[in-house]
């Protein structure tokens, strides 16, 4: 009997293990998770995440540490960031998320697309990588670049800014060339900017390269490269790289989600923005600025206060009802989030012509400058003809051009706070002063973000070397292009 029981047990054991072995892969395969990811599925998420990051008001780079540092917006309460006391956690998240969800995703998209033989999508991935890396180096300075996306390197070196910038420019060049090859395609439903139109991606890559070259134009010769791009970039507002948001959170524009839907009414328009628009009879005034609730006037607030002077402040008139909020146009849930616009490109072209980097002289300067104004006005549903016909709008000299081009670019970037602050850091136009009652330890408008608080622990030696190379991990440490 014992022998029979032993034989039966042995038979069952063999049957069980044989059965498990022959159907192991079938049993242990999750039918809901693909083992092969199509490259195009990574595009839309990285586009949306990047756009949200640069337009985010409280937790992104667009509002508190963008439009407010550029002094386009202000606040009547909760204005630590305005006074240069930012939330370190927000900076930590921007750093890690741009790496994890933009550059890393785009890098993987390029690799998968290359394996698929899709050079067009591979090029799009390279452009997205360059966008992510450019934003990171503009925010922080020296960053991990050459070793950044190698998962086997846990403590990547921080590359010198010049190395990062040259790598970014090469990515735009190579990306444009791969897209122009025509080998492959972009799935329209995965492309939230252009719906799969490769020709627009080529224009974007070249326009972004032009912008990157202008960023570093004070550090090396860029004229021949800029001239080679003229005629191969955006040609109308239809070429804007923009994401059209949906009507309800969490897929609405981040400005709407925080200020309107989140009832954060402390965000207002600065006095400088209001007076600049009023002084030139700018028709964008009622688009940018809402009438004050108290009396219907367009009234901005001087930037700052809130340290010695309590905010809101009835005596000074700096209250919720007496200071203008953002205009309703900018509080629409479906307002597009812009990464690069035709208007901005034309102001960059005007500046390049004004500095002699590209040909055309003063005639070209005015042509590009006027086209930038027209494009900005048209994007806001306005006609620029009457505005451009006014005395004092045209550019008469190089010095005049520097001021007027910079001011018009600043105004056109009203809803693109990160880009407005970044361009101001480069050109210093318009003339801005540190805010009233700013942090006494930060005596000027910030020129960069702090590195993440985790870096001294996780990547100490490389963090310290990078910090030392720019004079310390401070908000005011200058970057090479400033």
Q: Alpha-carbon torsion 330, 331, 334, 340, what sign?
A: positive
SS (H, E, C) the chain: CHHHHHHHHHHHHHHHHHHHHHCHHHHCCCCCCCCCCCHHHHHHHHHHHHHHHHHCCCCCCCHHHHHCCCCCEEECCCCCHHHCCCCHHHHHHHHHHHHHHHHHHHHHHHHHHHHHCCHHHHHHHHHHHHHHHHHHHHHHCCEECCCCCCCCCCCCCEECHHHHHHHHHHHHHHHHHHHHCCCCCCCHHHCCCCCCCHHHHHHHHHHHHHHHHHHCCCCCCCHHHHHHHCCCCCCCHHHCEEECCCCCCCCCCHHHHHHHCCCCCCEEEEHHHHHHHHHCCCCCHHHHECCCCCCCCCCCECCECCCCCCCCECCCCECCCCCCEECHHHHCCCCCEEEECHHHHHHHHHHHHHCCCCCCHHHHHHHHHHHHHHHHHHHCCCCCHHHHCCCCCCCCCHHHHHHHHHHHHHHHCCCCHHHHHHHHHHHCCCCCCCCECCCCCCCCCCCCCCCCCCHHHHCHHHHHHHHHHCCCCCCCCCCCCC
Residue 210 in tokens: 């032009």
Q: Minimal CA–CA distance to 63: which of 49, 78, 48?
A: 78
Distance of CA 402 to CAs 30, 396, 408, Å? 60, 11, 10
How close are the terminal C-alpha atoms of the chain, in Å? 91
Q: What is the pLDDT of residues 198-257, one digit of tens each?
A: 999 999 999 999 999 999 999 999 999 999 999 999 999 999 999 999 999 999 999 999
Q: Is there a contact between 49 and 102 (Cβ–Cβ < 8 Å)?
A: yes
- Asked if 409 contacts 423 with a C-beta cutoff of 8 angstroms, the reply is yes
pLDDT digits (tens, 9 = 90+) for 354-410: 999 999 999 999 999 999 999 999 999 999 999 999 999 999 999 999 999 999 999
Give me the chain's average pLDDT, please.
93
Question: Could you read off the pLDDT of 76-97 as tens digits, one per residue?
Answer: 999 999 999 999 999 999 999 9
257-311 residue pLDDT tens: 999 999 999 999 999 999 999 999 999 999 999 999 999 999 999 999 999 999 9
Question: Among 146, 142, 145, 200, which Cα is nearest to 176's?
Answer: 200
327 contact partners, CB below 8 Å, separation of at least 6? 286, 287, 288, 289, 290
pLDDT for 36: 74
pLDDT given at position 35: 53
Residues 436, 305 contacting (CB under 8 angstroms) = yes
Whether 358 contacts 367, CB under 8 Å: no
Least confident residue range of 13-17, 118-122, 412-416: 13-17
- pLDDT for res 14: 39
CA atoms within 13 A on the CB side of 359: 6
pLDDT at 171 over 50: yes
Residue 28's pLDDT is 52
> CB neighbours of 413 closer than 8 A, spacing ≥ 6?
70, 72, 344, 419, 420, 423
26-60 residue pLDDT tens:
545 554 444 578 999 999 999 999 999 999 999 99
Closest by CA to 264, choosing from 53, 54, 56, 51, is 56
Measured CA to CA, the distance from residue 149 to residue 27 in angstroms comes to 34
State what percent of residues in the chain have pLDDT above 70: 93
Q: What is the pLDDT of residues 430-476, one digit of tens each?
A: 999 999 999 999 999 999 999 999 999 999 999 999 999 999 999 99
Q: Which domains does the chain have, with CATH numbers?
A: 43-250+333-469 (1.25.40.390)
Tens digit of each residue's pLDDT (9 = 90 or more) over 119-143: 999 999 999 999 999 999 999 999 9
């Amino acid at each position: 009997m014992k022998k029979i029981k032993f034989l039966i047990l042995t038979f069952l054991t063999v049957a069980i293990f044989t059965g498990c072995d022959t159907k192991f892969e079938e049993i242990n395969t999750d039918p809901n998770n693909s083992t092969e990811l199509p490259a195009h599925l990574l595009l839309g998420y990285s586009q949306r995440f990047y756009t949200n990051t640069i337009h985010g008001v409280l937790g992104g780079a667009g509002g508190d540490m963008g439009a407010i540092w550029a002094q386009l917006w202000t606040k009547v309460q909760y204005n630590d960031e305005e006074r240069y006391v930012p939330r370190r956690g927000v900076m930590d998240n921007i750093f890690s998320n741009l790496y994890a969800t933009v550059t890393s995703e785009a890098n993987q998209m390029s690799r998968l697309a290359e394996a698929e033989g899709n050079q067009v999508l591979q090029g799009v991935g390279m452009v997205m990588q360059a966008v992510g890396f450019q934003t990171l180096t503009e925010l922080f300075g020296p960053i991990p670049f050459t070793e950044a996306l190698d998962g086997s390197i846990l403590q990547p070196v921080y590359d010198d800014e010049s190395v990062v910038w040259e790598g970014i420019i090469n990515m735009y060049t190579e990306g444009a060339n791969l897209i122009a090859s025509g080998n492959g395609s972009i799935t329209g439903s995965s492309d939230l900017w252009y719906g799969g139109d490769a020709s627009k991606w080529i224009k974007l890559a070249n326009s972004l390269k032009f912008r990157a070259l202008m960023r570093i134009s004070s550090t090396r010769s860029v004229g021949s490269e800029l001239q080679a791009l003229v005629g191969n970039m955006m040609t109308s507002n239809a070429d804007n790289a923009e994401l059209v948001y949906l009507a309800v959170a969490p897929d609405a524009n981040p400005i709407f989600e925080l200020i309107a839907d989140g009832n954060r009414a402390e965000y207002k328009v600065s006095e400088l923005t209001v007076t600049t628009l009023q002084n030139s009879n700018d028709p964008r005034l009622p688009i940018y600025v809402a009438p004050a609730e108290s009396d219907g006037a367009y009234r901005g607030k001087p930037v700052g206060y809130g340290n010695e002077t309590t905010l809101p402040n009835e005596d000074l008139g700096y209250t919720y009802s007496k200071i203008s909020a953002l205009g309703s146009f900018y509080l629409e849930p479906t307002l597009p989030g812009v990464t690069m616009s035709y208007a901005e490109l034309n102001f960059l072209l005007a500046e390049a012509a004004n500095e002699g980097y590209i040909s055309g002289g003063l005639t070209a300067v005015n042509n590009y400058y006027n086209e930038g104004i027209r494009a900005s006005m048209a994007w806001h549903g306005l006609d620029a003809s009457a505005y451009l016909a006014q005395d004092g709008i045209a550019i008469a000299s190089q010095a005049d051009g520097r001021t007027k081009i910079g001011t018009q670019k600043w105004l056109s970037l009203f809803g693109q706070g990160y880009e407005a602050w970044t361009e101001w850091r480069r050109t210093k136009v318009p003339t801005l002063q540190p805010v009233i009652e700013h942090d006494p330890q930060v005596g000027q408008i910030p020129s960069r973000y702090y590195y993440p608080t985790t870096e001294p622990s996780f990547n100490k030696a490389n963090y310290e070397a990078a910090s030392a190379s720019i004079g310390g991990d401070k908000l005011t440490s200058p970057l090479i292009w400033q």
